[in-house]
Amino acid sequence: MLRIKQRASGLWRLLTSMSLGITLLLLAIVFAIAGTYNPQVFASPWFLLLSGLLTLNIVCTTGVRIRRLIGRDTTVPRVFNSQKDHRLISLGQCSPERVTSEAVGELKRLGFAVNLKEFEQGRLITGKKRAWVKFASPLLHLAVVLLVIGSVIGSMWGLKGHYQIEVPGQADLTKDGFPFDLRVNEFNIEYYEDGTPRQYTSSLAIIKGEEVEDTRNIAVNRPLKQQGVKVYQSTYGYNLEGSIKRGDETATFKVEEGDLIFLGGPAHLAMEVQWPRYLVYSQGIPFSMGIAELNEPLNILNMEVTFNERIPFTGLEVKSDPGLPLIWLSFIIGLLGLTLRLYVKPQTIWLLQGQREGNIELRLASGQRVKEQQHAEYIAQRLGGIFREECSFKV
């Protein structure tokens, strides 16, 4: 039993240790580098395990951090344990209440929020400024956890689909679980003066049941948002419809422009079209080329290829991602946490007021920052000055 307990506490210490965190981060770097050469890495169980461990480490360390921050101090701060971390001011025979009220007054004048607590070693007067900033780092780490949760939710309950819809035409999104169907009424490409594309626009009708609920235009960078579903302008292209006649036999085809049309025959012919140019390969080797026209038969060896229609299609990316709000939230609180952590500094000054042989002793300690030490110095001087007249003062 004891053994299990020991093991468990050892495991807990490991999980909440920064060494593990840094090691996992370094490992994640190695994995990510490998992943840029082979994207399979990011889907591998090892990478998922690593991400899981890293998240667990962040959750545990942050949990411990928060508990320490909100938990009550049961002992005096560690700085009072060693002589060199604090200074001792001996105030002689003063009234303890008077000393406390002066110290509290000085701290408050400097803008510190003051807290009193009695300990075995004496009365602890704690002055804090911007103490809430200590929560910035946990906040930042919670943002990372939120990001992980958001992406897990997205991958488990999100829907995603790519639809190539002929114009005009309709896509049955409802059969894939989306709440509406889409009809594409129009697709347009705007061009710059030099002929490069400026924008691709699809004009869509949102259909529920049999009724058109709304009509909307979408373009690259301007997706449609409806009922938690987003529709993106993703690609475009053309479908080619036509027929191949060989002797008495006629076969029809419908392919996406750019894809190969297999003509067959003893020469294993295949045709690739970039309208209006076409290229014929024989067993992968270029064989002939030319310009195609709609409804004009092309004679290739003993075959007759005719293109009847060239139908434009728009490629739409449709998705719903229930994790997305969490992702955005994590970005906001992560940025907030990071900015506070890096640029707003909390300050703490401690005074431990005790008695020895009837003399009042004040122990003064502060954080490491210059500002804190300046404030501590100032308080030491002030208190020294005040009590010099009334008590036998010595530092």
Nearest approach in angstroms of CB 188 to other proteins is 12
- Using CB under 8 A as the binding rule, the residues of this chain from 39 to 58 that contact other proteins are 39, 42
220 binds other proteins (CB under 8 A): yes
Count of all residues that appear for the chain in the document: 395
338 binds other proteins (CB under 8 A): yes
Distance CA 19, CA 62 (A): 14
Contact criterion met (CB below 8 Å) for 275 and 238: yes
**Contact range with other proteins by CB under 8 A, out of 193-201, 209-217, 261-269, 354-362:** 193-201
- Using CB under 8 A as the binding rule, the residues of this chain from 128 to 167 that contact other proteins are 137, 151, 160
Distance CA 88, CA 307 (A): 97
Structure tokens at 280: 């014929």
Using CA atoms in the order 143, 148, 154, 160, what is the torsion angle rounded to 10 degrees? Answer: 110
3-state secondary structure of 208: strand
11 binds other proteins (CB under 8 A): no
Contact criterion met (CB below 8 Å) for 128 and 348: yes
Nearest approach in angstroms of CB 166 to other proteins is 21
State which residue, 180 or 278, has the beta carbon closest to other proteins. Answer: 180
Q: What share of the chain is helix, strand, coil (3-state, %, to 5)?
A: 40, 40, 20
312 binds other proteins (CB under 8 A): no
Contact criterion met (CB below 8 Å) for 183 and 205: yes
Among 194, 210, 248, 357, binds other proteins (CB under 8 A): 194
Structure tokens at 351: 């005074």
State which residue, 117 or 162, has the beta carbon closest to other proteins. Answer: 162
Nearest approach in angstroms of CB 244 to other proteins is 35
Nearest approach in angstroms of CB 191 to other proteins is 9
State which residue, 26 or 113, has the beta carbon closest to other proteins. Answer: 26
Nearest approach in angstroms of CB 18 to other proteins is 5
- Identify which of 359, 318, 330, 386 has the alpha carbon closest to the alpha carbon of residue 158: 318
335 binds other proteins (CB under 8 A): yes
Structure tokens at 60: 């545990």
Distance CA 112, CA 108 (A): 5
Nearest approach in angstroms of CB 31 to other proteins is 10
Nearest approach in angstroms of CB 324 to other proteins is 7
Amino acid, single-letter form, for residue 393: F
**Exposure on the CB side of residue 334, measured as CA atoms within 13 A:** 14
Residues that bind other proteins in the complex, under the rule CB under 8 A: 18-19, 21-22, 25-26, 28-29, 32-33, 35-36, 39, 42, 137, 151, 160, 192, 194, 196-200, 219-221, 223, 230, 232, 234, 317, 319, 324, 327-328, 331, 334-335, 338-339, 342
